[in-house]
Amino acid sequence: VSHPLDLGLAAQAAAIAAGEVDPGEILDAALARIDERNPALNAIVATFPERSREMLDAAAPGPLRGVPVVIKDEWPLPWRAQRFGAAELTVSTAPGESAPYRALRDAGAVIVGVGNMHELGAGSTGNTSYYGAARNPWDTERCPGGSSSGSAASVAARLVAGAVGADGLGSVRFPAAYCGLTGLKPTFGRSAMEGHHMAPITTMIVSGPLCADAADCRLLGSVLFGEELTEGDPTGLRIGVVRDTVSEDVTPAVAEACEGAIETLRAETGGELREVALPDLEAATLAGILIINAESMSGTRPEQLNRLDPELSPIARGTLKYRMLLPAAATVKAASVRALMRQRLAALFADVDVIAWPTIPAPAPPLEAPLVELPSGTLAADQANVRGAALANLTGIPSISLPVGLSDGLPVALQLQAAWGNDELLLDAAEALERANGRRWVESRPPLAEAEPTEV
């Protein structure tokens, strides 16, 4: 018999609903496992057992009744303001009921902890945080991915089976990829965002689920979307393959795993591969960076930057100041690039159902030196990772990251992107791939999270 925390999100919910497992015991087990495993990971930065028990006592009879989950340090809770992984934000925050919190509460879920994150959401590695770096359960000397670092690490380590992250330039997909999880970046506007300090102004950031597999992402995604993400049939899937830096400047192991997965998906769905052109991806990446920068700095006054909290990392301090210097003309140009890429994608999605390329060009780098060795040379992981992620945020389309292999014991991931509103198709395709490979990769788990027999 499996330990209940080693079950997936849907299986935990089903076991509770069937009366096979006491939700109070699952909550106790989750808190105990956090005590046991989190010191090596720093994935969870706050627990609040009394609040969690209150949530359980009041749990609605929803699809996640009694199931423990984690939420990223990016939204307020009624008893805690978000810190955004930083000593200081340049906007004020306060405890409150955010939309993701309400969605989880109304589904009957029990929030057991707040997930660590890359400081200010400004990194793909998770190696910098007010709380200290989160660590990758597959190798605790390596980056867990960011910015939703703790959300991913907590699921990969089976502290919980589902966590809420946020994705403004890949921040759900990178940690999903580094930690061997499935992570969905929804179509812009479909998932709960209210309460996030950027919600009123962002055109880039979305909340999204991080879980072991696509079925659990469908369940947690349905909660965050406030609507059921129904299953469909991906038969005849037309898969667009782009021959560009995003698919070619990757390690040989990443290329091999992703190409194999794409072919497996094609065969499983009886579909076809179509080589497609998507020019100006580098410009699209920079356009995404410029737009999210303009949105995030729009309320910042120069004098605020002269009295930053000394505990803010030197990198954040310097970067925040530099961001004030980026020319407005470039941001206006970025809007043109955004329009161009949206038009190109709209045309492209008439010919293909999904676009596929690696989520990350190389597996998780060391925490102490987050560099990756690629065919083009040595790059900062942030610089290399964002190239494959920014398009979805820039244009609003949904995207999903799926585990498709291991390279030297570290997860490798494939990214699928679809047209606006086709989040369900991405989940259908992900499930098709899981079926085809015998769920080999979604059921792989790091050594520290090997399944244990139940005592609950």
Partner 1 sequence: LRHRILSFAALGRAPPEWVHDRSQVGLPAEMEGAASADQFVPAGLAALGIEADETDLAVMGAVHQLIWPPLLELLALDTEGVEVERRPDMSRAPE
Binding site for partner 1 (CB under 8 A): 125, 187-190, 203, 280, 282-283, 286-287, 289-290, 302-303, 305-306, 314-315, 317-319, 321-322, 324-327, 329-330, 333-340, 342-343, 345-346, 349, 368-371, 377-383, 395-396, 419-421
Q: How many CB atoms lie within 10 A of CB 97?
A: 14
Q: How far is the CB of 342 from partner 1 (least distance, A)?
A: 5
8 Å CB contact between 404 and 260 = yes
Which residues, in sequence order, are CB contacts of 365 under 8 Å at separation 6+?
125, 142, 143, 371, 372, 381
| Calpha distance 281→13 (Å, rounded) | 41
Catalytic residue (one of 98, 124, 129, 147): 147
Nearest approach, Cβ of 381 to partner 1 (angstroms)?
A: 7
Distance, CA of 213 to CA of 183 (rounded, Å)? 8
Nearest Cα to Cα of residue 143 among 69, 292, 254, 42 = 42
What would the DSSP string read from start to end of 400-456? EEEEEEEETTEEEEEEEEESTT-HHHHHHHHHHHHHHTTTTTTT---GGG---B---
Strand order in the sheet with 399-407: 44-46, 110-115, 68-72, 162-167, 206-211, 182-185, 399-407, 410-418, 354-358, 238-242, 272-276
The helix (H) or strand (E) run that includes residue 111 is strand 110-115
The residue among 59 and 289 lying less far from partner 1, judged by its C-beta, is 289
Name the token pair of 456: 């609950």
Q: Judged by CB, which is closer to partner 1: 169, or 433?
A: 169
Query: How many alpha carbons lie under 13 Å from residue 401 in its C-beta half-sphere?
Result: 33
Q: Is 399 a catalytic residue?
A: no
Residue 147 appears among annotated catalytic residues: yes
> CB count, 10 Å around CB of 319?
15
The partner residues of 366 in beta bridges, in order of sequence, read 142
* Rounded CA Rg of the chain: 20
Catalytic residue, candidates 52, 72, 247, 296: 72
- Cβ proximity to partner 1, 80 vs 338, nearer residue: 338
Supply the minimum distance, in Å, between the C-beta of residue 32 and partner 1.
36
Count the Cβ atoms, other than its own, within 10 Å of residue 237: 23
Residue 222 vs 293, nearer CB to partner 1: 293
H/E segment holding residue 378: strand 377-380
Q: What is the number of other CB atoms lying within 10 angstroms of the CB of residue 136?
A: 34
* Least distance between partner 1 and beta carbon 190 (Å): 7
How far apart are CB 143 and partner 1 at their closest, in Å? Answer: 11
| Rounded CA separation 451/448 (Å) | 9
Residue 292 Cβ vs partner 1, minimum distance, rounded to whole Å:
12
Q: Which CB sits closer to partner 1, 109 or 337?
A: 337
Q: Which is nearer to partner 1, 327 or 438 (CB)?
A: 327
Distance CA 437, CA 268 (A): 9
Catalytic residue among 171, 222, 296, 399: 171
For the chain, first and last CA: distance in Å?
10
User: What minimum distance in Å lies between the beta carbon of 239 and partner 1?
Assistant: 19
CB of 370 to partner 1, least distance (A): 6
What residues are annotated to the active site?
A: 72, 147, 171
